């Protein structure tokens, strides 16, 4: 028996074994949750299906979150093959690589639209499609990053998208609170993932965090997964509309040590 025994969770955004969503799904499975997965594109399908098979044959659904047709198919597929949800994990983000460098004012209109649609509106769209499938008292969580509220060079458009995502978390929490449904975000510190490698200078951030953060270390994907388990469990029944930092305290440091300036 684990903290999530009997709970049903939909995990989005698993790309490979280095992704944060993978670590969260693995921790959920170890804590007794029944899982379902989405994937976007044939490129990751085999990897997700292989992982799902190892998670007691969890169902897998193709879902391009920018397509209302896909969202409708996801809703219907879950109802037919999985049942009602206790947890929804949103771990989806995208920006064109050229919009993660240079000047923000050089961002193209289409690049801005695409990133905000996939990285931010997708949470609203998923909740809208699945709200009838969510049990009262369910937990929704989204993955975000410090660049939503602070300047992180080269994070650029993604920081803007994450700021929108964090705002959505608060408004969705208000809308769904009467049903006891909690909505939170996890702001993970830097990790080596396929997505993070698209951000220029990322390796420099990994070098700075252990020197500046109160805990003097970088985080692991397991650190994020542990927080996700807490948010999915009944231990967080009164916790909603918040951003939970898992970054060794890095977000709280105002002025770095003088020898790093």
List, by residue number, the catalytic residues. Answer: 145, 155
Q: How far apart are CA 176 and CA 178, in angstroms?
A: 6
Asked if 157 contacts 107 with a C-beta cutoff of 8 angstroms, the reply is yes
Tokens of 32: 């007794």
Tokens of 72: 């409708």
Q: How far apart are CA 79 and CA 75, in angstroms?
A: 6
In sequence order, the β-bridge partners of residue 183 are 140
CA count, 13 A, side-chain hemisphere, 163? 12
Tell me phi and psi for residue 156, to 5 degrees.
45, -115
Tell me the torsion sign for CA atoms 9, 128, 228, 199: positive
Largest CA distance in the chain: 59
**Residues contacting 184, CB < 8 A, separation 6+:** 139, 140, 141, 142, 169, 173, 231, 236, 239, 240, 241, 242, 243, 244
């Amino acid at each position: 028996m684990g903290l999530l025994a009997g709970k049903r969770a939909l995990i989005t955004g698993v790309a490979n074994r280095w992704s944060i969503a993978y670590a969260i799904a693995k921790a959920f499975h170890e804590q007794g949750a029944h899982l379902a997965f989405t994937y976007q594109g044939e490129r990751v399908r085999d990897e997700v299906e292989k992982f799902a098979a190892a998670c007691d044959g969890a169902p897998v659904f193709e879902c391009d979150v920018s397509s209302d047709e896909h969202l409708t198919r996801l809703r219907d597929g879950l109802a037919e093959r999985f049942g009602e949800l206790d947890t929804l994990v949103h771990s989806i983000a995208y920006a064109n690589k050229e919009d993660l460098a240079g000047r923000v004012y050089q961002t193209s209109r289409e690049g801005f639209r695409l990133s905000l649609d996939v990285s931010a509106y997708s949470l609203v769209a998923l909740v809208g499609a699945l709200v009838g499938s969510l049990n009262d008292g369910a937990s929704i969580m989204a993955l975000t990053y410090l660049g939503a509220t602070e300047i992180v060079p080269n994070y650029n458009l993604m920081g803007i998208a994450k700021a929108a995502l964090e705002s959505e978390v608060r408004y969705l929490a208000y809308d769904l609170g009467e049903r006891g449904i909690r909505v939170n975000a996890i702001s993970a510190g830097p990790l080596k993932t396929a997505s993070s490698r698209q951000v220029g200078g990322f390796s420099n951030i990994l070098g700075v965090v252990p020197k500046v953060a109160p805990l003097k270390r970088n985080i692991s994907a397991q650190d994020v997964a542990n927080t996700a388990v807490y948010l999915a469990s009944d231990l967080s029944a009164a916790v909603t509309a918040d951003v939970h930092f898992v970054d060794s305290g890095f977000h709280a440091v105002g002025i770095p040590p003088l020898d790093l300036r």
